[in-house]
Chains A and B, each alone.
Chain A
Amino acid sequence: MPTVPAGRCCASRLPALVTLMVTLALPAIGSAQATGGLIGTIADASTNRAIAGVEVRLDGGRFRATTDRSGEFRLRGIPVGYHRLEVAWPGYRPARRDSVLVRSGEIQRVDVRLAPEAVELQELVAVGVQDPVLDPLATQTVQRISAEDLRRLPVSSLEDAIALQAGVVGESFRGGRSGQQAFILDGFGIKNSLDASTNGTGIRIPTDLITEARLITNGFSAKYGQAISGLVSVTTRDGGDRWRGRAAYETDRPLSGVADLGLDRMVLEADGPLFGSVRAVGIVDLSARLDFDAVNAPAATDERDPRFATPRPLPHNSGESWTAAGKLTFPIGSRMTGRLFGLRTIEQQYLYDQRFKYEPQLGPGRRVDGSLVSAHLQLLPGSQSTTPIIGDLRVGYFSRDFVRGAVDAPDYRFGAFTGRRLAIRGEEIARNQDTVGSRQPIPGFVPPGFSDRSPWGVPGFFLGGATTGEIAWNTFSELRSQLDVAVGLGQSADLYVGGLVAAQDVKTFQRIQAYLPTGGDVPQPSAAAFSPRITGAYVEAQARASDLGFTVGVRYDGFDPGGDLNNATVGSRSSINPRAAVSTVLDRATIVGSVGRFSQAPDLQYLVDAAFDDTTRTGRFRQGNPNLGFEQGTQFELSGRIRLREMTSLRVNLYTKNLDGLVSTAPLGVNPDSSRFVNADVGNVIGGEFIFERERVGGWGSRLALVVQRAEGTVTDAFELQRLIRIDPNTGDTLAPPARAQFPLNFDRRLAVIATVDGEINPEGGPRLFGAHPFGRLLASAVFRYGSGLPFSLTDITGDSLAAEPNGSRLPSQWTIDLLMRRPIRIGRFLGGLYVDVRNLTDQRNVLAVRRDTGNPDASESYLATIAEAAYQANPQSIPFESARYRRYADTNGDGRIAGRDELFPLYLSAARDFSQPLFVYGPPRQIRFGMEFTF
């Protein structure tokens, strides 16, 4: 929710001396997404006559402009945030406004009326700022998250904050797939082009570094590509003129039992001047949790199961994340600014694997290393320039390295922190991409057997003795150069041009069951190494004519997988994506209509073969397709923003989006485990977003977002078989697919409601105790979320065949309430705060997934009996007293042997029930964390 700047007023208020002229403002989409602009007129308050030649100064003269003959001025390339505007002219009283908010990618209109010195005036309001809700040429559908939002709401990360926005389901925006979004950091594009649909970028932006984040779900500028569903644009802050910093620690250790998830988080950040005009920001953000992937699964029903007494935390489920970032900002001459930015994140996790429940130290682990280094050179126009040009040159290197496999048992140093880089067995072989040597059993890997440490004893379901022998590694890196130029064409138009070139490098390696030689059921190790290249160029123009605003642009995207891929018959491919928007201002409302075509290159993982293991089959294989084309979407939207009352607004967005060419799989032959990636999926999304906001005034604010949506198509997870194509079991022929039927998409959430409210008690509010007001300045916020159930497909017990229409069933709806309370404190000369953050306050048990054969989280009794029978038949031998598998309670006749069906089968049934209990189909439990912070 935006905070209303003091003194802002609407077009209907016309004080005696001041006229706030709310006119159309031009959104500066482009020159730098970390900047915006100001435009306005200077006039004589008594005569309303424009004054030419007046110097307008921002931040003490850091930015300057002079009014033209019509009294208009324009300032471009102003960093996002609050600025001080000053206007002075001989014969007039100077005017000043201390809190002019400049937003990223927008131009605010600020009109100033100067009062002549000789004229007595009753009021001295001189500067008026336009209402941002009624900014008619903000054609993008933008939801903003300010630094203040990050501080006031119960969120710990950028991802948490994004999840509070309308139209968001995980990493799906407006019904699209995960991976169809792009990430912009200070105007620089970042995307994990290798496997964005299944994994993130690997870098975490510390919330303390963020000035503003924007979620843009439509109408995004032709400047941006590599996205179909939306953009997340983040602006980081620069160092200040005085040293300041913050240290914070949060934990849930004071709690006990299932409430203690073993969380520790430490943040240390500081910024200030280094020398001269050089400003620096540095931050370190460390967090770890013993139950990293906590789930609110019910306790086990069998008292012998350790999860009966201790349902949480899960063993071997810890994780830690280390992030360090730094930024330097420095002027180069009077018109150039340089910025250097570096960020590194290492996130490593021990992964709970139900198969190793009783020997959890043998479960797998994973590690993701993300790095970003970028340099930005910005050229700003001269103050007297009649055709101002802003140029941004950005060069950056982004890399993401992922590895997963067998790990040693964790050695914790403090809480869940190991303080060591997680070592994955076989990592060297993977990095060397030794597909020849790794065909033989890899030294150090031995086959697992059945664990004898379960309460059931029987050899079934639970493994032990060794790991599963999986090694998966991939690395993606990109060197990107990006040039953006914004040309001011007078006061009413802007032209934007630019382009980018990125050289990418991909390496992958996968091996499963490394204790066996390949061949037979064990697929060959798969590896890939290739160097794709992406290019892009755009041109876009914005113009204002009276009450109308126009935006027209076109973008070129190019993608070349490189010459290293076998069977590549298509080389470079390209896509042209036009975008247009028109907007107008009505009384207290702005209406925008937009249309745009968007495309993105397919995940690079679909261009190469993939071998992966799962618990139901020994090896699944997907053939890469180096000839895959762009995935594309076309979106139409009509939106309106209405100022209801002075502090309240309503936004209505109605949209329809067509998706085409999305990656899916088609069978290679009759083996359902082998298939090939193709561009065959399509989809359509139609929806409406209704967002009501009360801005933070008088100590509190609120927001209510309601989204209704229908998303349908033939879209599936690319690793599943395309259900519509069938293979004749007798002839092996591919049967002609039936007429294209539409089914709900995976992220088709029909109804979503998100309500937030936050408020702060005034310093002397609440009861007085011992001379103090303990509740004074207490800040509290609450978030309520509701979402209707996502669709899923019912299948047979093997998961191969559909039992009903694709995505024809629905998960139960979900809801949560989150709460944050924060109280500033002072200790000596240090300011700080204490806070309590509660997620899922009511400990709601949300179901995120179900079994596809039953439509419930739990397995059916018949399924349990079936798998128990199979396990018993595989090992029907008796268990003698001396064996470690012997369990006294099961030896019902006391003869020293657990023998025969009557004694053995109940153990297999209990083991099957234990093994099949659902865990990760549930959402997270209630999580409470206590924090304290100090600022200096």
Chain B
Amino acid sequence: MHRGLMIGAVVLSVGCAHSTPCCDAITGSEGPFAAAEPTRLTFAAGANRWPAFSWDDRSISYRYQRGTGDRDLCAGLLPARGGQRIGDACAGELTEAGRTDVFMSLTPLVGDVVAFTRHSSTLGAVAPQAGGLYVGRLGAIGEARLVMPLLTTPPGGSVRYDFLMSPARTGPDQIIALAGQFIVGARVEFGPIDTVFHGKEIVKIDLDGTIAAITPLSSAEGAVAWAFDPASGFVYFHRPSYAAPTESAIYQVIADTIFRVSVAGGPSEAIWGRPSTVPFNGRTNEAIDGLGAGGGRVFISMHRDRPVPPPPANPTGTETRSTLAEITPGGATREFAILTAPTGSQLLWGRLAVSSDGDHLVAERREGGVNDLYLFDQP
């Protein structure tokens, strides 16, 4: 299990904002290299990650690397069938140089109004030093208003919230999100790669006041991914189980469980799990890497390492097999989009997002240090 990436840094900026209102243009399949499946959506160097469909399935938000020396990360909006970005949120160049600023995602609300989180820190800092949830207009991100501070216990919250993972709109002035905390290991440096997310609660946030009003919906202690299915009204979250610290010097996942809870609140129930496996070569050899839900369907991405014939067929002797899969309560799994590569080459599927009708899925595809997003149109 790799450590999830979560840089939450919020910076006000107008530098990269588009003036085009969000989500007005559905341009069809704009990807120039559309294959039967999947359609590649991004081509930028670096990490293009954290996909999420907008509430109306007209756009996909994601996070991308700006490529500047201050390691900024920006949030963008793509048309739902791919194409050029229709919205951006980025830090300004000159006033925020020398700081790392990260926009997690853009959650369209109404028209060109979006909600987003932003974290910032000095370069090389271990953890973000400032953060917040903002509401503003695309094209005028610099004028967005802070509705909830992060890295603190907000009014109405029960614990300290460091991040809000991929907020989803449930109304013109309301979002739900997985709220959690950063856990930073002694050997982990703050940055886009190695910070561990630790979910705490599924929360509902009302944005219509000067200050956001927070209502915890369910505990999601230890969750590292989540998804909301508006068709079923269920929230799903993924919680790994870790080996005891005495048994491993790093956070080693030994089991994964998918939980489900109603958006109206109530207890959560486990609906699918992967039991722990015997570590192979002293490492975890199987993990869930992403979770998505929509249209009553639930999808995951996962990978497994397995031995393969010795060299020269495979220099490492181990192969990693990464797949996307639709899961059903009770444990059934339908796999597709299988990737195989020598272990260590890091060819994996990552985080997922599913449209509200369940027919479209966007997945991170990682190859080495490069991440791109691919769109699957499900039959």
Contacts and interface: CB of A to CB of B under 8 A. Distances in A.
A805 to B, nearest CB: 41
Chain B contact residues, majority secondary structure:
loop
Interface of B: 13-18, 31-33, 40-45, 67, 76, 78, 82-85, 92-95, 142
Given A882-B78, A896-B32, A446 B85 contact: no
Contacts of A897: 43-45
Interface stretch (A374-382, A640-648, A873-881): A873-881
Contacts of B32: 881, 888, 894, 896
Contacts of A466: 14
Contact of A881 (B31, B45, B67): B31
A449 B45 contact: no
A880 B13 CA distance: 22
Interface string A874-906: 000110111110101000001111000000000
Contacts of B33: 894, 896
Contacts of B78: 882
Interface string A278-310: 000000000000000000000000000000000
Pick the most buried of B15, B33, B41, B76: most chain A CB atoms within 10 A of its CB.
B15
Contact of B84 (A446, A447, A877, A881): A881
A884 B85 contact: yes
Contacts of A529: none
Contact of B92 (A446, A880, A883, A888): A446
A882 B41 CA distance: 7
B149 to A, nearest CB: 22
B95 A447 contact: yes
Interface string A259-277: 0000000000000000000
Given A441-B95, A447-B94, A894-B32, A884 B18 contact: yes
Given A447-B95, A896-B43, 12 more contacts: A441-B95, A446-B14, A446-B142, A449-B16, A465-B15, A466-B14, A515-B94, A880-B45, A881-B32, A881-B42, A882-B44, A883-B84
B139 to A, nearest CB: 10
B43 A882 contact: yes
A447 B45 CA distance: 26
Interface in A343-358: none
A516 interface: yes
Given A447-B15, A447-B94, A882-B83, A877 B41 contact: no
A880 B93 contact: no
Interface of A: 441, 446-447, 449, 465-466, 515-516, 877-878, 880-884, 886, 888, 894-897
Nearest to B30: A881
B76 A882 contact: yes
Contacts of B44: 878, 880, 882-883, 897
Contacts of A877: 45, 67
A403 B336 CA distance: 66
B42 A882 contact: yes
Q: Which of A882, A884, A886, A896 has the most CB of B within 10 A?
A: A882
Contacts of A446: 13-15, 92, 95, 142
Given A881-B84, A882-B84, A896-B32, A449 B93 contact: yes
A104 B78 CA distance: 74
A888 B93 CA distance: 27
Given A877-B67, A882-B43, A882-B44, A465 B84 contact: no
Contacts of B15: 446-447, 449, 465
B369 to A, nearest CB: 15
Most chain A CB neighbours (cut-off 10 Å) among B40, B43, B76, B93: B43
B33 to A, nearest CB: 6
A487 B210 CA distance: 80
B128 to A, nearest CB: 23
26 contacts: A441-B95, A446-B15, A446-B142, A447-B92, A447-B94, A449-B92, A449-B93, A466-B14, A878-B44, A880-B44, A881-B32, A881-B42, A882-B41, A882-B42, A882-B44, A882-B76, A882-B78, A882-B83, A883-B84, A883-B85, A888-B32, A894-B32, A894-B33, A895-B43, A896-B43, A897-B45
A881 B93 contact: no
A877 B64 CA distance: 14
Given A446-B14, A447-B15, A878-B45, A884 B84 contact: yes
A886 B84 contact: yes
Contacts of A886: 84
Nearest to A513: B94
A881 B373 CA distance: 12
A880 B45 CA distance: 8
Nearest to B40: A896
Q: What 3 pairs across the A-B complex have the smallest Cβ distances? A: A880-B43, A880-B44, A896-B43
A895 B32 CA distance: 9
A401 B44 CA distance: 51
A933 B83 CA distance: 57
Contacts of B67: 877
A878 B43 CA distance: 9
A895 B31 CA distance: 11
Nearest to A441: B95
Contacts of B40: 896
Contacts of B13: 446
A329 B17 CA distance: 61
A884 B13 CA distance: 17
* Most B-side CB within 10 Å, residue of A441, A449, A881: A881
A888 B16 CA distance: 21
Contacts of B43: 878, 880-882, 895-897
A205 B17 CA distance: 47
Contacts of A884: 18, 84-85
Given A880-B44, A882-B43, A465 B14 contact: yes
Nearest to B67: A877
Question: Which of A886, A894, A897 is packed against the most chain B CB atoms within 10 Å?
Answer: A886
A447 B93 CA distance: 7
A41 B332 CA distance: 127
Contacts of B94: 447, 515-516
A878 B370 CA distance: 14
Contacts of A516: 94-95
A899 to B, nearest CB: 8
Contacts of A447: 15, 92-95
A874 to B, nearest CB: 12
B276 to A, nearest CB: 39
Contacts of B84: 881-884, 886
B24 to A, nearest CB: 15
A878 B84 CA distance: 15
Contacts of B18: 884
Contacts of A878: 43-45
A873 to B, nearest CB: 15
A273 to B, nearest CB: 58
Contacts of B83: 882
Nearest to B79: A882
Nearest to B33: A896
B270 to A, nearest CB: 37
A877 B84 CA distance: 17
Contacts of B31: 881
A897 B31 CA distance: 12
Contacts of B82: 882
B95 A515 contact: yes
A70 B14 CA distance: 88
B98 to A, nearest CB: 13
Contacts of B17: 465
A441 B12 CA distance: 15
A140 B216 CA distance: 92
A730 B53 CA distance: 64
B82 to A, nearest CB: 8
A824 B45 CA distance: 72
A465 B94 CA distance: 13
Contact of B85 (A465, A882, A896): A882
A465 B43 CA distance: 24
A466 B41 CA distance: 29
